[in-house]
Amino acid sequence: GAVVSQHPSWVICKSGTSVKIECRSLDFQATTMFWYRQFPKQSLMLMATSNEGSKATYEQGVEKDKFLINHASLTLSTLTVTSAHPEDSSFYICSALGQGATEAFFGQGTRLTVV
């Protein structure tokens, strides 16, 4: 299957700082990327959908000013957690969908710990 790479795999940051997570499709062009969040011992919940070159669509309850999503190219989407707080500590994972494709591929995820 296609390869989606997420970076970093884990990050620890201080409360109040911002953290950027990258999601790259390595061998295909991803017209759509999805960002999910998974709290400990819970399922994965969709946060937002981003299409290349346009604004992301956020799911209900997700603060768009706190979780900034940029999908500036067909191979890269970034999620920036701004002014991070301990409650933002979670596992963030992206998936990428190619144009005309019917299957999205997942990155390996990023474990964020805010101290």
Partner 1 sequence: AQKVTQAQTEISVVEKEDVTLDCVYETRDTTYYLFWYKQPPSGELVFLIRRNSFDEQNEISGRYSWNFQKSTSSFNFTITASQVVDSAVYFCALITNAGKSTFGDGTTLTVKP
Please report how close the Cβ of residue 49 comes to partner 1 at its closest, in angstroms.
Answer: 7
28/26 Cα distance (integer angstroms):
6
Site string for partner 1, 41-60 (x = CB under 8 A): -xxxxx--x-----------
Give every CB contact of residue 68 below 8 A, 6+ residues apart in sequence. 79, 80, 82
Q: Which residues pair with 58 in a beta bridge?
A: 48
Number of chain residues interacting with partner 1 (CB under 8 A) = 22
90/111 Cα distance (integer angstroms):
6
Among the listed ranges 14-22, 62-70, 71-79, 89-97, the one in contact with partner 1 (CB under 8 A) is 89-97
Question: Is 89 near partner 1 (CB under 8 A)?
Answer: no
Question: Is 17 near partner 1 (CB under 8 A)?
Answer: no
Indicate the DSSP class of residue 17.
-
Instruction: Using the minimum distance from each CB to partner 1, give the nearer residue, 34 or 67.
Output: 34
Among the listed ranges 11-19, 61-69, 77-85, 106-114, the one in contact with partner 1 (CB under 8 A) is 106-114
The three-point CA angle 38-81-62 to 5° equals: 60
